[in-house]
Chains A and B, each alone.
Chain A
């Protein structure tokens, strides 16, 4: 059933090829590709690495990544993404397939400058109130008005002002486009534009807090597949199935208990003892051992659109002194001197996708991410250094985030040792997590580790934040190149399938290869270990579990 649904959608959607063409589609209400069991009274016990949900309102300042997972099942979005099977047989969301969630169907205007959503008429919030276009309008207004990250994420899809959102009638909602942008529809399927029970929240707003952020952050104002039963920050989240959920097939799991177990060794012991069902976001070093045990279902998925890199500062001067790294030859030398294999083996325990060692010098496809044409070659590195303005080497620093110490420290130590061989004396700078963002924004460090990943899976999206001259946080080396900016802008304005897009992507990849402003090392993975009776796991771009899809036999 799952397979057939998938094929059906595949045929339906690939007809359009480009994502832009998806906008015109009008799928029917019943086309979700969930691997679904009958609703049962099963309880799912979950522990996880990478932190613990610290809030429920994603529009609140400071809400962390794990909170996306809780919000994801407590709230509906208008749209969601389809599923696909990855080469290794595991499931992943499919960013090229947009599916209905709260919106039953939608219609793009003939001029392609607006979209009208038709909401499910039977959908209700957890408190029984019907979901109307008024709630949708309020939620969208909120997302673009609260500022900070939510507004920023909405802007990425050209959703910027409340004027763009219009309540047509009780169950019809229209979004006017600022421009044709391939990210607009996708951006409505990310966690930020969640549909919130506006009437309920309005009874809790205060003068300082007109959007009720504080209340929503601690309470349930949703209409998603799970209701909040208990939320103790830093301790536990308990969710129960919302039996009246209409935006998809009812989940099989009746109750979810997510517990905060800070110690990785204990999370592992709990799974091995059978006291929990799922150990999510498993540390690299534990993954291999779980796999070897053979007792658990282990799924390892490369994190889309995410790279671990060392960003090299390309500014001509740093702290008033000439900056050796502004020379292309020096940067290339560093790229050739990086001990890639050792990093993969030692820092990552082999749990990653190598992004080095490509034999071709120019990109032949727009596949992303793709390996960069560098591998460890000390002779070449020495030769490049000899040709550069710094044949005798120089002294510099390499900064990394102490919060990512587990892999970043061995990685940086390996690089330090290796660069020493080509005359570059590196001092490591350990930056506390609280300060790391600020240091990145400053762009004052010669070398800095960077693990940026973008939600919307396009190379141009990644490059816009990591290489573009607009100098976003994640262009940590402050790389400036008008030629590259032009290509990135061109790619952002076009879509896959368009020759302009292909040429632009290849163009900026080529520049990134040649100019080497970042030492690109690897693509990280997201791993989960589950008891064998747990099924339905699917990778999501937000890197959280989707409890609606999981099953427990």
Chain B
């Protein structure tokens, strides 16, 4: 595909996303207000009288009509104001920008760990279907996905930190006495290297290991299964038989032809798993005191704190749009047939 077509495809996709985003804004706004719970009563604090609750309701603007609240919200959004979180007492935008990199770093690390394990295992299982290795991979995958992440996490903490003392204390992104590197990307591993702070990098890396493994084990199963299935179907196709018959080396057949063709479904699954992990790793965040956006959203939900809930959903939907776009572009790079008609 030539470059102008690629750019046009991307442009189309972005335009396509606009109604989606608008729908998301309306629906989250309405859903947040449909939640049971009265933020005014919640934030009025202990021993509050009806009078105090009403005062707070007025203060929060919740005494206005839904439509009026919605227009104010849209107006603020257009000015780049995502509102303030009552639970953290800070602008939602700042909170999300501080926490999103933490979630991204954790999710990416988890995913890299999962890919590094799942691809070879999936390929191994596919090349020897029905063997003990195939069953072993299946068992590992099933175990990974059926053990709840908080359990895996706590188990890892118990054994590797509490009992053996190999892993660092589960204190979040950095150890107790380290300070965050100057923020450029927000990913500590990258920022610490850019700032040339080697100790901070080591510390951040050590802190990241256990939560990333916990998350990675969970993501392992779908990736390994899809790799196996996809490889199996490709390996039994005609062009592989032809390649083998032509006397190409097994490595060449496996990685040069089979794997490349098997990658499309793997990439699709990767995208799904990534976006799922990003929002769903609340439990891992809790166990490892990881300051990500999952736990942020849950805390806000529990307090009926509208602005951060809306901000979270909006961020996630924007991320999905970007992610899907990136996936589509990746498809066309891997397989020129995909998106050619765009």
Q: Which residues of A are interface residues toward B (Cβ below 8 A)?
A: 45, 54-57, 60-64, 147-149, 151-153, 156, 214, 217-218, 230, 232-236, 257, 259-263, 265-266, 269-270, 272-273, 275, 403, 432-438, 440-441, 452-454, 465, 472-474
Contacts and interface: CB of A to CB of B under 8 A. Distances in A.
Contact of A259 (B38, B59, B176): B176
B38 A263 contact: no
A164 B36 CA distance: 41
A265 B50 CA distance: 38
Does more than half of chain A's interface fall in helix, strand or loop, or is it mixed? mixed
B44 interface: yes
B89 A147 contact: no
Given A61-B60, A233-B95, A234-B291, A438 B42 contact: yes
Contact of B46 (A62, A266, A434, A452): A452
Contacts of B42: 433-434, 436-438
A260 B55 CA distance: 31
B49 A152 contact: yes
B56 A61 contact: yes
A83 B38 CA distance: 39
A435 B38 contact: yes
A151 B38 CA distance: 20
Contact of A148 (B39, B52, B286, B287): B52
A266 B170 contact: yes
Interface stretch (B244-252, B255-263, B300-308): B300-308
Contact of A235 (B48, B172, B303): B172
Contacts of A474: 46-47
Given A218-B90, A235-B172, A259-B176, A465 B52 contact: no
A152 B43 CA distance: 13
A63 B43 CA distance: 8
The range of chain B's interface size is: 35 or more
Contacts, number: 162
A436 B299 CA distance: 15
Interface in B26-72: 35-39, 41-50, 52-53, 55-56, 59-60
A266 B89 contact: no
Given A151-B52, A152-B49, A473-B47, A259 B304 contact: no
Interface in B163-213: 165, 169-172, 176, 179
25 contacts: A62-B87, A147-B55, A149-B45, A149-B48, A214-B84, A217-B89, A232-B291, A233-B88, A233-B90, A234-B299, A235-B291, A259-B172, A261-B289, A263-B287, A269-B157, A270-B169, A272-B162, A273-B162, A434-B35, A437-B42, A438-B41, A441-B53, A453-B46, A473-B41, A474-B46
A275 B169 contact: yes
A441 B41 contact: yes
Contacts of A64: 87
B101 to A, nearest CB: 13
